[in-house]
Amino acid sequence: METLDLSALDLRAVNATLQAVGKGANTGFEIANPRGSHAIAVGLDAPIQVTVKGSTGYYCAGMNQQATVRVTGSVGPGVAENMMSGKVVVEGNASQYAGATAHGGLLVIKGDASSRCGISMKGVDIVVHGKIGHMSAFMAQAGNLVVLGDAGDALGDSLYEARIFVRGAVKSLGADCIEKEVRPEHLDLLKRLLRDAEADADPSEFRRYGSARKLYHFDVDNAGAY
């Protein structure tokens, strides 16, 4: 495994090295001394393994494709923003809008996530071992948000077709978000996601939330909910 030390290299050089790896490569890198730097390991597009030894600033692993990025500390806002594929694992906590607009892949947060986790998610799977803040999954369009802890206010506000699974308490649901039945296919989905996210939990303990589908098109009878 090659070590890239941010105390000796500038961030642009580190990211350029990671981005230059060929798409057919399967190799590993360790990023030392991140010291809260922003935009670490962004724009990757090869099946490489990257371990960030410490905490990062905003937009860590943004626009990821194929790579597996593991952060041994916590991350600032926008981790895995617009991720397309691959896997991002945060051993600590995540700040606001984790996984925002992400289209695919798996984002795992082993601590807590702040507000707007999964905002406008478009196909990503997000598993949070701890709790999430308010307005999470706001305008989420597709994908799965799995929360082992509690959820804050306005969960799933203006939700489209994303699925939300919460094991803990939900402070309040947002506009057009309702509780739905957990069917056998959802239990199978949860079992797979929890396994892939290294989470020890029983799928049967989760409740499912989804869209009531009343806000897809403007209706004057629902004007107060917009």
Is it true that domain 2-225 has CATH number 3.30.70.120? no
Of 126 and 222, more confident: 126
What pLDDT is stored for residue 221 in this prediction? 72
- Section 37-41 average pLDDT: 97
What is the edge-to-edge ordering of all strands in the sheet holding 28-32?
2-5, 28-32, 49-52, 68-71, 87-90, 106-109, 122-128, 142-147, 163-166, 207-211, 177-180
Question: At 163, is the pLDDT very low, low, confident or very high (cuts 50, 70, 90)?
Answer: very high
Give Cβ neighbours of residue 8 (< 8 Å, ≥ 6 apart): none
Res. 225: pLDDT tops 70 = no
What pLDDT is stored for residue 135 in this prediction? 98
Range from 14-23, 74-83, 135-144, 179-188 carrying the lowest mean pLDDT: 14-23
- The pTM for the full model equals 0.94
Give the percent of the chain with pLDDT over 90: 90
